[in-house]
Amino acid sequence: MNFDAPEEHEPLRDAVRRFFADELPEARIREMDRARRIPRELWHRLGALGWLGLTVPEDYGGGGGDLTQGVVLCEEISRRFPSLAVDWVLVAMTARAFLEHGTAEQKAHYLPRLVQGDFLMAFAMTEPAGGTDVLGLTTRGEEDDGGWRLNGQKLYTSLADDADAILVLCRTDPAPEGKRARGLSLVLCPRDQAGVTVRRLELMAMRAACTSEVFLDDARAPGDAVLGTRGRGWYHLLSSLDEERTLAAAIYVGITQASLDLTVQYAGERSAFGRPIGAFQAVQHPLAEVATELEQIRLLTDKAAWLQANGRECAGTAAMAKLAASEVAIRATDRCLRILAGHGLVEESPMERLFRDARLGPFSPISNEMVKNFLGERLGLPRSY
């Protein structure tokens, strides 16, 4: 068994760290966090660096990488700016959606623009009355004058206010009795129109990721706006869940690593009673536990990415990685904040933001309770929902 990382991973890690050191310092990250917005020029810069198209085939201007590289990039971004990593995952999922389900024309039109940062897309699935029960959605899509007319309301739609288009999961056809998953379609709705209203939500965590509420009031989409097969939208989404959960796990690996780095440095510099506080067991022991759990979640996340990159079954491993990494990040940021104490509470400290950002993990992109239900069923137990 070889645990050596592929040779292309370390140069990627180094490049991301240099980027933050040279171009995106903590003060600038804090400004974006407070403004709850990532400026478009930053997306263009990430496109120029090749990171938006990291896993996009070279035929469309991408780097042709696999999910193991995506996990490295996502973890390293999350060590400094988790909100940016959340939206980067959306870009990666956009690319996957077009690659797997787009027509030749859609791929040729959107993927090169996505790679350069000229096209951003949000995913609108969750609704106020549905939550995890996505299949209970009420948003409707109706054919009208050669195009589509969309009506409904979506909630917790990241990147919606900054996106060029919103991919809306809506009901376009009646569902057969007891088959709610059928008859749902993915319709690409242009953002800039009178029928689309977006309200930014002031979340505590991942503030710069631009999480929003979306109102569709006779919103229009062209006739060729359906992504994939009409009526099969839910099944198209299912194919992306493993990658989404693995990348979500990478975000919380990055948050945990950053928290540990900050706290170890502080413990070595802060003195009390004539010695560095890092010399006391009350400080060393929780940090040892964080380091141990960090190693565990990184290995689990890397395994999930490797399985998918090699075409192996990975649903259970990806779900476990998301579950474990998000829970570890909660514990790690709590332990580290206790050591930093007041220093970790001031907004100038990255720890303050990391602590907040970690709180999204247990219920996004899926709640950890639903992950446990899924894993329980895979163990052979009766379905619990």
The pairing of beta strand 271-272 with beta strand 275-276: antiparallel
Enter the tokens of residue 253. Answer: 């690996």
Residue pair 151/124 in contact (Cβ under 8 Å)? The answer is no
The structural domains of the chain, ordered by start, are 9-119 (1.10.540.10), 122-232 (2.40.110.10), 240-378 (1.20.140.10)
Tens digit of pLDDT for each residue in 8-67?
A: 899 999 999 999 999 999 999 999 999 999 999 999 999 999 999 999 999 999 999 999
Which run of H or of E encompasses 339?
helix 315-340
Residue 302 CB burial class (10 angstroms; 0-12, 13-18, ≥19)? buried
Which run of H or of E encompasses 215?
strand 211-221
Distance CA 116, CA 61 (A): 8
pTM recorded for the entire structure: 0.96
Q: Classify 368 as helix, strand or coil.
A: helix
Tens digit of pLDDT for each residue in 94-153?
A: 999 999 999 999 999 999 999 999 999 999 999 998 777 888 899 999 999 899 999 999
Task: Find residue 187's DSSP bridge partners.
Answer: 168, 226
Q: Which amino acid is at 64?
A: G
Q: Which residues of 242-265 are buried (b: 16+ CB within 10 A; e: fewer)?
A: bbbbbbbbbbbbbbbbbbbebbbe
Q: Across residues 216-244, what is the average pLDDT?
A: 95
Distance CA 278, CA 284 (A): 6
Enter the tokens of residue 238. Answer: 């299912």
Residues in the chain: 385
